[in-house]
Structure 1
């Protein structure tokens, strides 16, 4: 397994632990999460790319890996991911450039390890 796949698996494991420990708060967050990301006027893929943009801008590596994974699973292309990263750089400057590099590295890893 790759570094980013391992980190993604750890994030999911932590989500499960937190959800079990946090009771209604965790359940309510997951309900809101699912409702916010379902297809509507914007597609699920578009929403995941928007989340990726915000994740890069706020410098949350776990969020980057989670939303990148789900955007790719929803059909995002490399070109769409790069344009999303470019938008984050526009909005957040240097820090987004650094974390955008993390997203590029993870994207390459994910696409290289797809079966």
Structure 2
């Protein structure tokens, strides 16, 4: 696994410092939490589709943390590897080579979280 990203460790580290931000900037973090909760709530678009969109944006924005958090959420929501891979194909189509690099990492993140879920 040399050189590979460990997405569980990555989001754990980010989560720890999000807790620090909550202490340092409570109003901002409360506002972000409310925004997140409102945006991701199931409505006309179901939660899994919203997470697929969020992961696609994470890939296009080259955000490792976003890839980790949304990849994990997709596993928890029961998204299949095929659904994730198909969405990543659209990311590559729209974003070219840079999106391809992060799409490969997004599939790695999904696989890591899926394997961890299967192991427990």
Q: Taking structure 2 as the reference length, what is the TM-score of the superposition? A: 0.89
Q: 1:4 Cα deviation (Å)? A: 1.7
Question: Which residue number corresponds to residue 100 of structure 2?
Answer: 97
Which whole-Å CA distance do the structure 1 matches of 2:92 and 2:108 have between them? 16
Query: Relative to structure 2, which stretch is displaced further, 83-92 or 11-20?
Result: 11-20
Q: 1:26 Cα deviation (Å)? A: 1.0
Q: 1:73 Cα deviation (Å)? A: 1.0
Which whole-Å CA distance do the structure 2 matches of 1:73 and 1:30 have between them? 19
Unaligned runs of 5+ in 2: none
Deviations 1:42-64 (A, max 9, x none): 11111011000010001011111
Question: Which residue number corresponds to residue 3 of structure 1?
Answer: 6
* Matched residue count: 114
Structure 1 ranges of 4+ moved more than 4 A: none
Counterpart pick for 1:51 among 48, 51, 54: 54
Q: Does 1:111 align with 2:114?
A: yes
Which whole-Å CA distance do the structure 1 matches of 2:61 and 2:114 have between them? 24
Unaligned runs of 5+ in 1: none
Q: 1:3 Cα deviation (Å)? A: 2.0
Contact kept, 8 Å, 2:71 with 2:113, in 1: the verdict is no
Question: Which residue number corresponds to residue 75 of structure 1?
Answer: 78
Q: 1:20 Cα deviation (Å)? A: 2.0
Q: Does 1:42 align with 2:45?
A: yes
Question: Which residue number corresponds to residue 25 of structure 1?
Answer: 28
